[in-house]
Structure 1
Amino acid sequence: MIEAVGLTKRYGAKTAVDHLSFQVRPGAVTGFLGPNGSGKSTTMRMILGLDAPTSGHVTVCGHPYRQLPNAPRMVGALLDAKGVHGGRSARMHLLALAQHAGIPARRVDEVLSVVGLQDVARKRPAGFSLGMGQRLGIAAALLGDPQVLLFDEPVNGLDPEGILWVRNLMKALAAEGRTVFVSSHLMSEMALTADHLIVIGRGQLLADMSVKDFISANSADFARVRTPDSEPELREKLTAALVEAGAHVLAETDGALRVMGLPLPRISEVAHSAEVRLWELSPHQASLEEAYMRMTQSAVDYRSTADQRAGLQQFAQPYTYAPPAAVPQDWGAPAAPHRQDRLQDPRPTASEPPRSPGAAPSADASPALSGPDSEDAR
């Protein structure tokens, strides 16, 4: 089990984690959610003893990580899949970790097989794809057959088959009674993988509950009701009957009704009593993503804005050549200090007809743009 009590971490004037308290229990996959910059990675680093908390404490299996006897045999973690020695093969990387923790060499081949990297075991991770690097990181986390596992974005870079494999692996590890703590930004994947959620924003705890309770607490369930489109008077009749029964009714753009405040059986009874035929009566529950966005909308530090393209239009215009300035009459005289005449393009523009070599340009010709071939640039 992982337990944090009053966990706080400050970097100068910035408070990354602010009095955070929670428990991650064994036997379940616990999702760790929060916007970018909310303190998730900092929290995981403090759990693993990589960062010291400013105040508060966090324990793993009842002890601070640094005081665990042979910690790699008790805790496995994937925080950065790129944290490998580029000159070693995948197998040698895992073998070095195993020897440091007193793990038998045969375990290296076992975890390489578990993650599907046995065919590239003797290749260097520097040439691995992002997904292959993630698999190697998961293999390192599983190396000691630990009871506590932490994963930061474990499905990053994986293909659909790999994502399904990670999902099933997490569930299988939790089913064995292990503690599984997973951070991810993929809400759809968390909805399928996690049993429990810990949500933070700006370093503070926002929610600590099951996935089902989290969705119910941060969304408004409603029923979708549709009457025959050819008889709009039935929709108005049903709306009046539902409002009288205590429901809140909103009209959808496609002609359906959104009914809140009454369960589906009661809506059906009201429609039957009003002698209104129903074409549709279906429940709607918000997704984890919708509930998460509603919960964290006030805790987002980095927001995108509309692309104000109007301000970029001046840079989108192609460069054009301007006609040269007038050639001085005393061509043979010494050149003036300003040598703008050397920066001009002798070619005529589309608005000026071609001229003979000795002809002077029009008097209103504008000077050419300076560029990288100017004398100053030389």
Structure 2
Amino acid sequence: MIEAVGLTKRYGDKTAVYNLSFQVRPGAVTGFLGPNGSGKSTTMRMILGLDNPTAGSVTIGGYPYRKLPNAPRQVGALLDAKAVHGGRHARNHLLSLAQLSGIPGRRVDEVLGVVGLQDVAKKRSKGFSLGMGQRLGIAAALLGDPQVLLFDEPVNGLDPEGILWVRNLMKSLAAEGRTVFVSSHLMSEMAVTADHLIVIGRGQLLADMSVTDFISANSADFARVRTPHTEPQLREKLAGALTEAGGHVMSEQDGCLRVTGLPLPRISDIAHEADVRLWELSPHQASLEEAYMRMTQGAVDYRSTTDQKAGLQQPLPPGAQPPMPVAGQGQPGWYAPPPPQQGYAPPQPVPGAAPGPYGAAPNPYAQPGVPAAPAAPAQPPAAPAAAPQASERPAGAPQASAPTTTEDAR
């Protein structure tokens, strides 16, 4: 069993893990979940004695990892599948690990067969794909036939067949009474692999419960109700009756009604009393992914903003029409005459757009009501490239300061 008590780790003024306490029990697959930067890898490193905690303690079977006698035969781990000397053959890599831990050489061939690498045992690991590297890392974790196993993203780079194999491997190891601790970002895999979940966010414990309890605690079950789409008045009639009975009704984009606050038998009775035919009445429970997103939405450090590409396209003046296509434009040999010489017109500011770093060009990604980021310190402009001679470009053509790519043109 793995037990952490008040585990804390600080790097200078950065607190990666704070007062974290949990237990990982044998006989079950325990999933370790959390957003990027939440402290999962740091916690696993402290479990394996690779990092010293600032405060608190973590033990395996009652002992710190460094005090376990012949630890590689009691604990197996996959933290970084790339931590392999690229010039070594797969078998030689495992053989060196076995010799350091007093493990018989025949065990090397056994684990190579378990992970399916027996045919490439004498190939150098630098030529392995990401999935093959993952299999080699899993083989190293299984080498000592340990009772405690830790895996960090074990299905990374594996194909569907490999993912299914890892899933079954985890379950079989737990069924043998071993302690299996798995960190992953694939919610769909954790939903079908893990029995118990430990969820952390910003270094602190958010949840320590079974998968079923976690989903129930972080989601709202509802019923989907569908009436004949040819009779929209029946849907309105049923929605009113359900609301009268104390239910909360919302319309979905596909025409269904989402009903909460009423059990399915009660919804059926209300529809019968209102003389409304039902085409669908089904319960809906949130997935692990939905429950996880609800739980960790306040612990995410990196959030995306809306890519407002429309800001790159200036609106046409009132009454102006878009240019008409020219016959043959874009075809081989097509030639556009140079535009007439015109005076330079500075770009006009876009309403709601923040000024660029130099205050001249508008920022097309600025959002109304959102303050602009502080401007970067002005840097002296780079020396302009030598302008082409007059004979090198058509008369009246505007001088380009840099080549324009397809993305810039957009």
TM-score normalized with structure 2 length: 0.78
**Alignment map for 1:343-354 (pairs within 5 Å):** 343-347=387-391, 349-352=393-396
Corresponding residue of 2:238: 238
Query: Aligned partners of 2:312 and 2:86: how far apart in 1?
Result: 42
The alignment partner of 2:391 has SS state of coil
Corresponding residue of 2:9: 9
Matched, 1:210 2:254: no
Query: Aligned partners of 1:341 and 1:15: how far apart in 2?
Result: 48
CA 1:108–1:251 in 2, change beyond 3 Å: closer, same or farther? Answer: same
How far off its partner does 1:232 sit?
Answer: 2.3
Corresponding residue of 1:327: none
How far off its partner does 1:233 sit?
Answer: 2.5
Amino acid in structure 1 at the alignment position of 2:122: R
Identity in percent: 81
**Alignment map for 1:100-139 (pairs within 5 Å):** 100-139=100-139
Query: Aligned partners of 1:206 and 1:347: how far apart in 2?
Result: 70
Moved more, 134-143 or 225-234: 225-234
Corresponding residue of 1:190: 190
How far off its partner does 1:370 sit?
Answer: 9.5
Bigger CA radius of gyration:
1
Corresponding residue of 1:317: none
CA 1:366–1:180 in 2, change beyond 3 Å: closer, same or farther? Answer: closer
Query: Aligned partners of 1:73 and 1:107: how far apart in 2?
Result: 12
CA 1:312–1:15 in 2, change beyond 3 Å: closer, same or farther? Answer: farther
Corresponding residue of 1:225: 225
Amino acid in structure 1 at the alignment position of 2:290: E
CA 1:342–1:25 in 2, change beyond 3 Å: closer, same or farther? Answer: closer
Query: Aligned partners of 1:278 and 1:139: how far apart in 2?
Result: 54
Corresponding residue of 1:288: 288
How far off its partner does 1:369 sit?
Answer: 5.0
How far off its partner does 1:302 sit?
Answer: 1.2
How far off its partner does 1:254 sit?
Answer: 2.5
Amino acid in structure 2 at the alignment position of 1:25: R
How far off its partner does 1:138 sit?
Answer: 0.0
CA contact (8 A) 1:150 1:180 kept: yes
CA 1:369–1:275 in 2, change beyond 3 Å: closer, same or farther? Answer: closer
Corresponding residue of 2:76: 76
How far off its partner does 1:341 sit?
Answer: 12
Q: Write the deviation string for residues 311-336 of structure 1: whole angstroms up to 9, x where unpaired.
A: 889xxxxxxx99xxxxxxxxxxxxxx
Query: Aligned partners of 1:180 and 1:367: how far apart in 2?
Result: 65
CA contact (8 A) 1:150 1:182 kept: yes
CA 1:351–1:265 in 2, change beyond 3 Å: closer, same or farther? Answer: farther
Amino acid in structure 2 at the alignment position of 1:232: P
Amino acid in structure 2 at the alignment position of 1:344: P
Query: Aligned partners of 1:191 and 1:341: how far apart in 2?
Result: 58
CA contact (8 A) 1:343 1:368 kept: no
How far off its partner does 1:241 sit?
Answer: 2.1
How far off its partner does 1:106 sit?
Answer: 0.5
Q: Write the deviation string for residues 258-315 of structure 1: whole angstroms up to 9, x where unpaired.
A: 11011112211221222221111011111111111111111001112223557889xx
The alignment partner of 1:347 has SS state of helix
CA contact (8 A) 1:7 1:21 kept: yes
How far off its partner does 1:87 sit?
Answer: 2.2
Query: Aligned partners of 1:93 and 1:312: how far apart in 2?
Result: 54
Q: Write the deviation string for residues 1-60 of structure 1: whole angstroms up to 9, x where unpaired.
A: 100000000000000000000011111111100000000000000000000000000001
How far off its partner does 1:85 sit?
Answer: 1.7
Query: Aligned partners of 2:183 and 2:237: how far apart in 1?
Result: 49
Corresponding residue of 1:333: none
Structure 1: give runs of 5+ residues left out of the alignment.
314-320, 323-339, 353-364, 372-378
Amino acid in structure 2 at the alignment position of 1:133: G
CA contact (8 A) 1:72 1:144 kept: yes
Amino acid in structure 2 at the alignment position of 1:345: Q
Query: Aligned partners of 1:105 and 1:370: how far apart in 2?
Result: 62
TM-score normalized with structure 1 length: 0.84
Query: Aligned partners of 1:19 and 1:292: how far apart in 2?
Result: 21
How far off its partner does 1:139 sit?
Answer: 0.1
How far off its partner does 1:244 sit?
Answer: 2.3
Corresponding residue of 1:142: 142
